[in-house]
Amino acid sequence: MTSAILLVGGRGTRLSPITDQIPKPMLPIAGLPVTEHQILAAKKAGVKTLVLATSYLAEVFTPYFGDGSKWGIDLRYAIEKEPLGTGGAIAHAAAELNESEKETVLIFNGDVISDHDISAQIATHQKSSADVTLHLIQVEDARAFGSVPTDSQGRVIAFLEKMDQPITNWINAGCYIFNRAVIDSIPRGIVTSVERETFPALISADRRIFGYKENSYWLDIGTPLALFKASRDRVKARFSAHPTAHIDSSALLSGGTFIGAQATIASGATLDNCIVSEGAVVAESAHLSRCFLAPGAIVKSNAVYKDRYMSIEKNLPITFI
Ligand code: GTP
């Protein structure tokens, strides 16, 4: 395994207004963008070349990740003028890889935080001579997801849409291993969804689609509830802060709050389960709960906010769905 494609070009509608200025994969979880968590996981699994498939707010990624040398990987960019959907994005990004780099490709939905063992997923893929191997995760209630039943050998037998009584609670976790032949079969330049078109078509054509089942920590951060949960889970303490943050000793931070670089938290402020980006300021005795502060946001003294998105220009409610 030498290469990977990260799908990071979606609009992130469900996280609006947080995603109006920051693309979903760049949202910070415990101080690192989701994409950086994924790059680190890919690197651990031996990935050396990685393509970021960007579209919406594509310009935000390059200044942060550059050529990838900071992470010891060869990082390339594939920018879609118009979003091509998850399948079209894979076909478009694969053009940045040469034939041998395309042999076995790790593909990540850019909004997933996962601790699963990617090397074990690759081993399963190779052992079963699969065309595609999907990471599957078991959820308590699969009604909100499409479900993915497998046979006793782990071979995927269907890719089912959401339903009231799912026949299995194993769902697609958004991390795949693709063979070159499958990548090459996705039409170029056409909007295509891997979930709705490519996978069902491959199953109908009797191709070897396998599931890799692992129930380690996994979260799709696509909704506000999940975003704040991921932050709370990954901070793993009452709070965490960048070393350059200024936090008054009388401030009370809880619920896995993260304070970014050069941010200031003044005396008497309380913050519960908040994400505070770099350079933001929370003045004296402000009380914030489940708020996202964009870079440079300013919260006035004594302000009391719950479930808000704040930037330099805006102060908007976040709708929890
Ligand atoms: P919602 O609008 O809230 O559904 O979010 P989304 O646009 O991110 O869609 P979704 O969660 O279904 O996407 C899953 C992953 O694929 C995310 O990481 C997206 O960034 C990515 N993605 C979705 N559509 C495209 C696309 O057209 N191009 C690229 N490059 N990535 C995409």
CATH code: domain of residue 180: 3.90.550.10
Ligand 1 contact, 196 CB (< 6 A): no
107 CA from centroid of ligand 1 (Å): 13
- At 38 the pLDDT is 97
Same domain, 157 and 257: no
Q: Which domain holds residue 305?
A: 224-317
Ligand 1 contact, 13 CB (< 6 A): yes
- At 162 the pLDDT is 82
Q: Is residue 168 within 8 Å of residue 107, measured between CB atoms?
A: no
Confidence check: pLDDT of 229 > 90: yes
Confidence check: pLDDT of 189 > 80: yes
Ligand 1 contact, 109 CB (< 6 A): yes
Q: How many whole angstroms separate alpha carbon 78 and alpha carbon 146?
A: 28
- At 144 the pLDDT is 86
Q: How many whole angstroms separate alpha carbon 138 and alpha carbon 174?
A: 13
Confidence check: pLDDT of 1 > 80: no
Ligand 1 contact, 110 CB (< 6 A): yes
Domain termination residue (choose one: 190, 220, 250): 220
198-211: average pLDDT: 96
Ligand 1 contact, 303 CB (< 6 A): no
Residues 15-38 pLDDT 10s: 999 999 999 999 999 999 999 999
Same domain, 279 and 180: no
Tell me which amino acid residue 145 is.
F
301 CA from centroid of ligand 1 (Å): 37
- At 188 the pLDDT is 93
Confidence of residue 140 (pLDDT cuts 50, 70, 90): very high
- At 161 the pLDDT is 81
Same domain, 176 and 82: yes
Ligand 1 contact, 92 CB (< 6 A): no
261 CA from centroid of ligand 1 (Å): 28
Percentage of the chain beyond pLDDT 90 is 96
Ligand 1 contact, 8 CB (< 6 A): yes
- At 163 the pLDDT is 85
Same domain, 134 and 241: no
Same domain, 34 and 176: yes
Confidence check: pLDDT of 77 > 70: yes
Instruction: Look over the chain and give the mean of its residue pLDDT values, rounded to a whole number.
Output: 96
Can you read off the two tokens belonging to residue 194?
């891997």
Q: How many whole angstroms separate alpha carbon 318 and alpha carbon 306?
A: 9
Domain termination residue (choose one: 157, 187, 220): 220
Ligand 1 contact, 33 CB (< 6 A): no
Ligand 1 contact, 256 CB (< 6 A): no
- At 17 the pLDDT is 95
Of ligand 1's atoms, which has the minimum distance to the CA of residue 220? 11
Ligand 1 contact, 260 CB (< 6 A): no
Going by C-alpha positions, the residue among 248, 252, 159 that lies closest to residue 210 is 159
Positive or negative CA dihedral for 168, 174, 175, 181? positive
Same domain, 24 and 168: yes
Ligand 1, atom 31, lies closest to the CA of: 9
Confidence check: pLDDT of 321 > 80: no
Q: Are strands 218-220 and 112-114 parallel, antiparallel or unpaired?
A: antiparallel
- At 2 the pLDDT is 80
Same domain, 253 and 180: no
Ligand 1 pocket test target in 35, 56, 109, 175 with most atoms within 8 Å of CB? 109
Number of domains in the chain: 2
Q: Is residue 320 within 8 Å of residue 225, measured between CB atoms?
A: yes
Confidence of residue 48 (pLDDT cuts 50, 70, 90): very high
Of ligand 1's atoms, which has the minimum distance to the CA of residue 112? 18
Same domain, 91 and 235: no
Domain with 231 in it: what CATH number? 2.160.10
Same domain, 105 and 124: yes
Q: How many residues does the chain have?
A: 321
Ligand 1, atom 23, lies closest to the CA of: 10
Q: Order of strands across the sheet with 252-254?
A: 252-254, 270-272, 287-289, 304-306
Ligand 1 contact, 28 CB (< 6 A): no
Annotate 79-118 with three-state secondary structure.
ECCCCCHHHHHHHHHHCCCCCCCCCEEEEEECCEEECCCH
Continuous H helices in the chain: 34-44, 61-65, 85-94, 118-127, 180-185, 199-204, 224-235
Same domain, 71 and 215: yes
269-296: average pLDDT: 98
284-309: average pLDDT: 98
Domain termination residue (choose one: 220, 245, 274): 220
Global confidence as pTM? 0.96
Same domain, 297 and 170: no
Counts for the chain of helices (H) and strands (E), in that order: 7, 25
37-56: average pLDDT: 97
